């Protein structure tokens, strides 16, 4: 499925200008059909899956309790 620049911006939740800039930098693959750029939607699946994976890993890391320090001595 191909998306327009506006649809891609909405799908990625970023501004249209940023999508246009990423196309110019060739960081997003796009096809120009004579009127507008068309972006293949499936190229983002791997990236979005990795982002979700790293979010889960970060949440797990942040929710892990801090272990007690074995070097702490009771001064009483």
- For the domain made up of 2-63, give the CATH fold: Arc Repressor Mutant, subunit A (1.10.10)
Report the distance separating Cα 25 and Cα 22, nearest Å: 5
Per-residue model confidence as pLDDT tens digits over 11-64: 989 999 999 999 999 999 999 999 999 999 988 888 788 889 999 999 999 998
DSSP secondary structure code for residue 65 in this structure: P
pTM: 0.63
User: Could you state, in order of their start, the residue ranges of all structural domains in the chain?
Assistant: 2-63
Report the number of secondary-structure helices (H) and strands (E) in the chain: 3, 3
């Amino acid at each position: 499925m191909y998306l327009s620049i506006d649809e891609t911006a909405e799908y990625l939740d970023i501004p249209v200008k940023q999508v246009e800039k990423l196309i110019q930098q060739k960081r997003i693959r796009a096809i120009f059909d004579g009127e507008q750029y068309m972006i293949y939607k499936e190229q983002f699946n791997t990236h979005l899956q990795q982002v979700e994976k790293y979010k889960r890993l970060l949440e797990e890391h942040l929710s892990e309790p801090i272990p007690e320090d074995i070097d702490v001595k009771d001064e009483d």
